[in-house]
């Protein structure tokens, strides 16, 4: 069973990741729908939970035909303090879970480092945590991947649960919500779903952009939203983009998202990154020098998950080799980071970023399709390509499915003109450019 699962995991994650993180895992026991896996040290668990939180359980479920709980056991003897912390957190997790509250106990305001890039969102989240339903409703948190949205939204939930033990706090990803709607429809259980969602005290919906294009889910969410809002129950949503940039959602939902407060999280500055590294190192009892901390911070552009990933990788390496973490080890272990620096921005990268931003397939940006949304996104991509690459107009045209240079000039002119009047457009372009740099 395990060998088969490993093969499937290898297929999903690619060889180098697999060899480094998954290959060393050994199955110890499978009993009562729980599997115990032995891993070399805690950093393996941390890394897998950060990057592939459900992959092992998903693959095993596919192979076995029923869901299993995955537990880890470390081969090394662990630091007693760390083990104690882990078990406190795990207890809290299962206590909450037994009440139907699925918050991550690690994501609290205490463990969140505040800097200029996130202080506004953080302050708003704290207020909502102190005064659910009455501070800002809804609170809409938006920001790029790995910048702390899930952390903040969980921190709100944890703060509320701590202060108001009786409150029903429901955290759900938009993807999970969609699955629940689909399943409720199929099994004719819509009544139950409505009952459940319209009676919570606090609803936290993560990655709400996922409901783009999903009409029935949007419909259900809209009514849930209204019911909760009227009862002054707190709603918090997170998204990787602004409400106006989520494609394929109904205007009435878009406007609901904008009714309360919209708070953004920007990519962290160097100092904030360094502070986050120290905080995380502290929590993992890793000793690192300023030099190593700055090295990581300088090379990881913005994604905080990557930042932590580097530290975890170093921790794993140090633990396996018994060597202290120093700058040479950092340079060696993280060398793929360095080679990625100064990568020139290419039209392909721009197409990908623009496509992701607007939820449009790259293929559609390259073809002749002329819906309003696609034309607009395509023009933005051309405009950015003109600004950020050294390519000539006809070269740019070629990347966009063989358009001539006049088309590119026209596109750039259109965007120029619109930029002077359209603040939203400016924001979008700014966000995409940031994404390119990050
Ligand atoms: P997102 O949901 O925006 O993609 P996450 O909330 O999952 O990002 O954050 C990615 C990782 O970075 C998490 O492990 C989180 O704890 C950590 N993180 C993000 N922002 C901060 C911060 N300001 N302080 C400490 N850790 C952070
Ligand atoms: Mg998230």
> How does pLDDT run across 69-104, given as a tens digit for each residue?
999 998 878 788 888 998 999 999 999 999 899 999
pLDDT value for 398: 86
Pocket test for ligand 1, best of 148, 152, 266, 310 (most atoms within 8 A of CB): 148
Residues 330 and 355 occupy one common structural domain: no
Residue 104 lies in a domain: no
Residues 243 and 135 occupy one common structural domain: yes
Residues 98-128 have pLDDT tens digits of: 989 999 999 999 999 999 999 999 999 999 9
Q: Average pLDDT in the 142-153 region? A: 96
Residues 330 and 356 occupy one common structural domain: no
User: Atom 9, ligand 1: which residue's CA is nearest?
Assistant: 148
Show the domain range for 296. Answer: 283-339
Pocket test for ligand 1, best of 109, 142, 151, 236 (most atoms within 8 A of CB): 151
Residue 250 lies in a domain: yes
Residues 331 and 357 occupy one common structural domain: no
pLDDT value for 419: 87
Residues 224 and 175 occupy one common structural domain: yes
Residues 322-366 have pLDDT tens digits of: 999 999 999 999 987 776 555 678 888 899 999 999 988 888 888
Structural domains of the chain, count: 4
Tell me the CA–centroid distance for residue 238 and ligand 2, in Å: 8
Domain with residue 385: its CATH number is 1.10.1750.10
Nearest to 109 by CA among 166, 158, 50, 169: 158
Tell me the CA–centroid distance for residue 153 and ligand 1, in Å: 10
Q: Say yes or no to pLDDT of 57 above 70.
A: yes
Tell me the CA–centroid distance for residue 406 and ligand 1, in Å: 44
pLDDT value for 197: 96
Q: Say yes or no to pLDDT of 283 above 80.
A: yes
Percentage of residues of the chain with pLDDT beyond 90:
69
Nearest to 397 by CA among 418, 411, 387: 411
Is 149 annotated in a binding site? The answer is yes
265, 299, 319 - which closes a domain: 265
User: Atom 16, ligand 1: which residue's CA is nearest?
Assistant: 151
Residues 7 and 46 occupy one common structural domain: yes
Residues 6 and 73 occupy one common structural domain: yes
Identify the helix (H) or strand (E) that includes residue 27. strand 26-31
ω into residue 416 within 30 of 0, thus cis?
no
Strand order in the sheet with 169-173: 169-173, 202-206, 234-239, 139-143, 261-265
Residues 374 and 311 occupy one common structural domain: no
Domain with residue 173: its CATH number is 3.40.50.300
Residues 165 and 239 occupy one common structural domain: yes
Q: Average pLDDT in the 191-215 region? A: 95
Per-residue pLDDT band at 50 (split at 50, 70, 90): confident
Residue 147 lies in a domain: yes
Question: Does residue 118's CB lie within 6 angstroms of at least one atom of ligand 1?
Answer: yes
Give the CA dihedral 158, 161, 167, 172, nearest 10 degrees.
20
- The model carries a pTM of 0.79
Per-residue pLDDT band at 367 (split at 50, 70, 90): confident
Residue 382 lies in a domain: yes
Residues 257 and 133 occupy one common structural domain: yes
Tell me the CA–centroid distance for residue 149 and ligand 1, in Å: 7
User: Atom 6, ligand 1: which residue's CA is nearest?
Assistant: 148
pLDDT value for 394: 85
Residues 164 and 73 occupy one common structural domain: no
Residues 244 and 152 occupy one common structural domain: yes
Identify the helix (H) or strand (E) that includes residue 264. strand 261-265
Instruction: Report residue 299 as tokens.
Output: 């090379």
């Amino acid at each position: 069973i395990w060998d088969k699962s490993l093969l499937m995991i290898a297929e999903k994650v690619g060889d180098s990741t697999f060899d480094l993180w998954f290959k060393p895992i050994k199955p110890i026991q499978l009993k009562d729908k729980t599997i115990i896996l032995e891993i070399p040290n805690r950093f393996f668990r941390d890394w897998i939970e950060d990057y592939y939180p459900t992959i092992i359980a998903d693959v095993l479920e596919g192979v076995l035909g029923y869901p299993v709980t995955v537990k880890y056991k470390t081969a090394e003897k662990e630091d007693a303090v760390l083990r104690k912390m882990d078990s406190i957190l795990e207890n809290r997790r299962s206590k909450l879970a037994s009440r139907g509250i699925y918050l991550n106990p690690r994501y609290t305001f205490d463990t969140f480092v505040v800097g200029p890039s996130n202080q506004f969102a953080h302050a708003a989240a704290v207020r909502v945590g102190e005064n659910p339903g009455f501070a800002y409703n809804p609170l809409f948190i938006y920001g790029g991947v790995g910048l702390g949205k899930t952390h903040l939204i969980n921190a709100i939930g944890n703060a509320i649960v701590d202060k108001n033990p009786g409150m029903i706090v429901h955290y759900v990803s938009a993807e999970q919500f969609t699955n629940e709607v689909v399943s409720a429809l199929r099994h004719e259980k819509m009544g139950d779903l409505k009952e459940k969602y319209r009676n919570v005290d606090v609803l936290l919906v993560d990655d709400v952009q996922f409901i783009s294009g999903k009409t029935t889910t949007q419909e259900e969410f809209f009514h849930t939203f209204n019911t909760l809002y009227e009862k002054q129950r707190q709603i918090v949503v997170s998204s990787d983009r602004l409400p106006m940039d989520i494609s394929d959602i109904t205007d009435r939902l878009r406007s609901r998202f904008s009714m309360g407060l919209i708070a953004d999280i920007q990519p962290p500055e160097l100092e904030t990154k360094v502070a986050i590294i120290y905080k995380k190192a502290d929590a993992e009892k890793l000793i690192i020098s300023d030099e190593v901390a700055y090295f990581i911070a300088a090379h990881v552009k913005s994604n905080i998950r990557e930042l932590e990933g580097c530290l975890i990788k170093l921790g794993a390496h140090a633990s396996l080799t018994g060597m202290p973490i120093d700058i040479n080890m950092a340079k060696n272990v993280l060398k793929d980071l360095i080679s990625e620096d100064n990568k020139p921005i290419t039209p392909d990268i721009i197409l990908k970023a623009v496509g992701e931003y607007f939820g449009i397939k790259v293929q559609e940006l390259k073809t002749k399709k002329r819906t309003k949304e696609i034309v607009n996104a395509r023009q933005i991509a051309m405009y950015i390509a003109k600004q950020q690459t050294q390519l000539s107009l006809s070269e740019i045209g070629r990347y966009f499915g063989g358009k001539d240079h006049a088309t590119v000039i026209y596109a750039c002119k259109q965007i120029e003109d619109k930029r002077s009047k359209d603040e939203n457009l400016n924001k979008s372009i700014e966000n995409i450019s940031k994404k390119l740099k990050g």
